[in-house]
Every structure is written in structure tokens, then in C-alpha cells.
Structure 1
Amino acid sequence: MAGTKVLRSLLHELRQSAKDPGGIKNSLAARYILAQYKKFETTDQQLCKARNEAIFLGQTYLTYLSSLRKYNELYKEYHGRGERTVKETADLVGFKLPTDPK
């Protein structure tokens, strides 16, 4: 059931990006996705090209949403906030500053 997995993943990504603390219950995007999923639902006796195309489109949207979320996370972490200290820069690239024994 590739379609069910794609649907669950899409709804998960929508939850991740939702700004509303209530989740995606009132989300137009979630309603649209569920409506499309029900529209192209088939039984074992049916072969439907449109369903395969809908699954492909869902996977494409899933890739877009997850990439956008990851981009925003990386942007928040690494976007310049002005001058950084030497220690912050070293930590950012994974280096350790030498300690000064006294």
C-alpha cells in the first residue's frame, strides 16, 4: 500500500509545518489531500492509471514539503546573526579551541 504510506507521510509533514497548535484538523491542504486520496481509491480488482499518477504527485509534494522544512531548519541554524565569536565559529565547524595552560 504505497498510497497509504504517502498519505500518512504527507499528513505528518503538514503537521510539522502547521503553525496552528490545534494541528491540521481545519487545514484546507489536509482536506484536499484526503479528498484526492478518496477520489483515487481503488480495489484489488481495479487498475487505475490515475491512482498511480496521484501517488507520484503525492510523493512529489512530500519531497517538496520535507525539503522545505529541512531548508528552514538549516537556515535558522546557520543564517548569519552578525559577528560570531571565535569559539562560536569553531563550534559551528566542529573544531575545538586550544586551551591555555597556566
Structure 2
Amino acid sequence: MACPSPRDGARLPDGAEPSDPPEHYGEIVELRHQTNGYFRGAVARGVADGSFAKVDVKRVTRAMLSLTIDLVRWYRLDGPDSPEQLGEFYADLALKLLAPDGE
């Protein structure tokens, strides 16, 4: 399944329900689980090796993913920020959630 891209002006709502696209719902759920696992694992490894602050991994991961999920609700191709600019900005925000004290 090819996922729509905000670059193309397409949106995949986070609140997809089985009644939305039933033929793809399982794929969407699996992609969400994989994405959550990937982020949770990366945050947990960074906390464990001291690269990141000692944070609640589940909560911080949820916050990081919430940033990106909400973005598709308001992003417009004709808006002031390019996808690359927003990507850099959101990556910086996510890293600030994980920064050890004083950094």
C-alpha cells in the first residue's frame, strides 16, 4: 500500500476506523505499531546509553508521534513552510524533549 504524502496534498487521518478503508485498515494498524515500536526503541536505547535524558519512554514517544500526527491536520502545500523546513523544526523539537539537563 502506498501511503499518501503531504507533498501530494493527500492526508491519512489518524482516526482511521475499520469503516473508513476496510481493505487497508489492518495495514494502517500494523504501520502504526511498527512506527510506535521504532520510536519507542530508539528513545529507550538513547535513555539507556545516556544520550537522552531519563524520561518516561512511553510518554515522550507518544508526544513525539503526536507532533507528526497533528501536522497532517493543518499542513497545506501552499503554506509558508516546506515539508523539509517542518521536518527539521519538528526533529529539533523532538530532540529537545530528550535533551539531558542543561543542553
- TM-score, scaled to structure 2: 0.30
Q: Which has the higher helix share?
A: 1
TM-score, normalising length: structure 1:
0.30
